[in-house]
A = this chain, B = another copy of it.
Amino acid sequence: MAPPQGRKKSQGRKKIEMKLIADENARTVTFSKRRAGLFKKATELSILCGTQIAIIIFSLGGRAYSFGHPNVESVVNRFFNRNPVPNLQDSVHGMKLHSAMVNQLKEQYDQKNKELEAKKRKGKEIEAVLESSPVHISEERLNQFNMHQLEQLKQKMEKLRDDVRRMVAAQKAGLVGTSKSMNVVKARSVPKGVDLANVERNGRDASPIPVDWLKL
C-alpha cells in the first residue's frame, strides 16, 4: 500500500563485462559465488544425466578447489586411460592411442568440420541470391550513405565472399593447415545468415578504416 518511502534497497543484478575483474575484492566475491554455482550445476548434471564429472579449479592465489562425482581421481584416470578402457584400442602406425582424449579429438574435429560445412552452405545460398536478385539501387538510397560506410560495407562483402570461396576451394583441394591455437569463445549465437561477399579484386582504400578485421 504505502508507496516506497525509501530508495530501492538494491539496483539488482547488473551486467558485467567479460574480462578479468580488476578489483581484487569483488573478484574474490565473484569467484566464491560462481565457483559454488558451477559445482552446483555440475552436481545437477551428474544427477540428472547420470554422468561422471570432475572439476579442478586453481584460483589466482593458487588455491585448489575440486569437485568430483564420484570423485576426481577416478574420472581423471579414466580420461587419461590409466584405467584401461577395453573398448577403445585405436592405434596409429601400430601404437596405441590414448582413448578418451584422442577419441574426443576426433569427435571435435568432426564437429568443427560439420559447422564449417554448414556455414559454407549458407554462404552459397546467399551467393545464389546475389546472383539472381536484380534489385535496383536508387541514387536516393546511395546518397544516404557516406563513402566511408559504403566502402566498409563493400569491403566486408567482398571479403566475406572471398573467404567463402577460399574455404570452398581449400575444402576441395583437401586443405593442409597449420596453426596452433585452440580457443573457442563460443558466441551466444551465430550471427544470422551473414555470409556473402566476393570479387577477387581489391582496389584502394582511402578512408582510415580500422581494418584490423581484414587481415584474417
Contacts and interface: CB of A to CB of B under 8 A. Distances in A.
Interface in A154-196: 154-167, 172, 174-196
A81 B215 CA distance: 21
Contacts of A78: 58, 64
A15 to B, nearest CB: 12
Contacts of A49: 20-21, 27, 30-31, 34, 59-60
B75 A208 contact: no
Interface in A94-148: 94-95, 97-127, 129-131, 133-135, 137, 139, 141-147
Interface residues of A, number: 162
15 contacts: A27-B48, A31-B49, A34-B44, A34-B49, A38-B42, A76-B76, A92-B102, A92-B104, A97-B99, A97-B216, A120-B190, A135-B146, A178-B214, A179-B186, A185-B204
A42 B58 CA distance: 12
Nearest to A192: B139
This protein's copies in its complex: 2
A205 B186 contact: no
B34 A64 contact: no
A182 B41 CA distance: 18
A107 B179 contact: yes
A56 interface: yes
A152 B129 contact: yes
Contacts of A95: 99
Contact of A139 (B102, B188, B194): B194
